[in-house]
Structure formats: C-alpha cells, structure tokens
Amino acid sequence: EVIAISMDTDKLQAQFKEKTGAEYRFVGDPEGKLVDLFGLRGFLLPAAKRKSFVIDQQGCIKTVVSGVFAATAGGAFEASCKI
C-alpha cells in the first residue's frame, strides 16, 4: 500500500490528489508529528524531505528512496522492487 504524507493540511492533500489523479491514500501532517517520527523535517525550510519507505508487515523499514522521484508512486514502486 502506498501512503503519501506531507506537512500540508488534509484539504491541500485532497486538492493535490485530485489534480494528479493519484490512486493512493494521502495523509496531512501539518504539525509534523509523522515527519519528525521518521526524521524528515528539513533544516532550512519548514517542509519534509522527500523519501519513500518500504515497510514490511512486521513494521521494519526494508529500504528508502530519497529525492524528488521518491515523492511519486513510481519511486515507491522502485523502492519496493529493491527488496
């Protein structure tokens, strides 16, 4: 399952999902709780770093993809193929 998380509000996430036609779930994290949990808060900008995590059924992180491509469904798929 692909889940997109950002520091945008749920409303902005819904608008982005509609605009892009993405079929996966979006979660708004405006307070940055999930962002901080995964160590993704940027240093200079109040935004999260772009990363895709592949997490197994036991909750273990198997691989991580970084950068702009990581924020796409293709990046998440690529990451899942590396395990």
pLDDT in tens, the chain (83 residues): 777 778 888 888 888 888 888 788 888 888 889 888 888 787 766 667 777 777 788 888 877 777 666 656 666 666 666 65
pTM of the entire predicted model: 0.62
- Output phi, psi for 27, to 5 deg: -130, 125
- Are β-strands 51-55 and 61-66 bridged in parallel, bridged antiparallel, or unpaired? antiparallel
**Minimal CA–CA distance to 33: which of 11, 7, 53?**
7
